[in-house]
Amino acid sequence: MGPRLSLEEKRKRMMDIFHEMPEPFLLKELERIGPKQKGIVSQSVKDVVQSLVDDGMCHCEKVGTSNFFWAFPSEAAVKRKNKMIQLEKELAQMQAKQKELVDLIANAQLGREHTEERGYLLEEMMETEALWNRQQEELKQFKECDPVLMNRKREEAVMAKDAANRWTDNVFIIQSWVRDKFNMDMGEFNKFFGIPAEFDSV
C-alpha cells in the first residue's frame, strides 16, 4: 500500500489524468483510472473531482442521466496566464498605493520643523491669553469702583478678548488645513505644537 496522499496531491494527480487523456470521463471511469494510474483510492475520487469542479478547474456537464467531467491542458494554461495577469495588476496597485503613502508621510513632515516664526506666533498667542486672564481678575477687583475706570477696563478686556479669539481662530484654521491636507489627527497636532486639550475661544 502506497503512502497516504493529501487532498492537494490527489487534486494534482486527478488533473494529470485529465491533461494526459484530454477527453470527457464518467465518474465511474475516473474511479477506475484513479487507483490504477495515480494511486488515488476510488472512495475519494468523487470528492476530489467535485472539489476541482467547485474551484473551476474541471468542467462537469450532464448528458442524459450521466455526468461527464473534463479539463483540457490548454484551459489550464489560459487560467494560469490570467491569474498571473491578475496578480501583476494587484502588485502594481499595491506598489502605487505604497508610493502614495510614502509621499503622504513625506508631505506631512513638511512644515512641522520648528521655526522662529512659529515659535513667536505661539508665544504671542499665549501672552495674549495670559493678558486676558489678568484683566479678568482686575475687573473683579474694580467691580465696586469708579464706573469710568470700570468701563475702560472692560473695553481693554474686550479688545484683549477679540485679539485672543483672532489668534484662536487662526490656530483652528491651521488645524483644519493640516487635517484635510495631510490627514493628521488633531490630537497629534495639539501635542506637537503644545496646545492644551481645553484650548478654545474665550
At 45 the pLDDT is 92
45-97 tens-digit pLDDT: 999 999 999 988 888 888 889 899 988 887 666 566 666 677 777 777 777 77
CB 24 within 8 A of CB 44: no
Reduce the DSSP state of residue 63 to 3 states and report it.
strand
> Is it the case that residue 165 has pLDDT exceeding 90?
no
Contacts of 52 (CB under 8 A, 6+ apart): 11, 14, 15, 58, 71
Instruction: Note whether 177 and 186 are within 8 A (CB).
Output: no
pLDDT value, residue 92: 74
The set of residues, in sequence order, having a beta carbon less than 8 Å from that of 138 and lying 6+ positions away, is: 153
- Give residue 29's pLDDT band: very low, low, confident or very high (50, 70, 90): very high
Instruction: Provide the pLDDT confidence category of residue 202 given band limits of 50, 70 and 90.
Output: low
Confidence at 176, pLDDT banded by 50, 70, 90: confident
Residue 156: predicted pLDDT: 74
C-alpha cell at position 90: 494587484
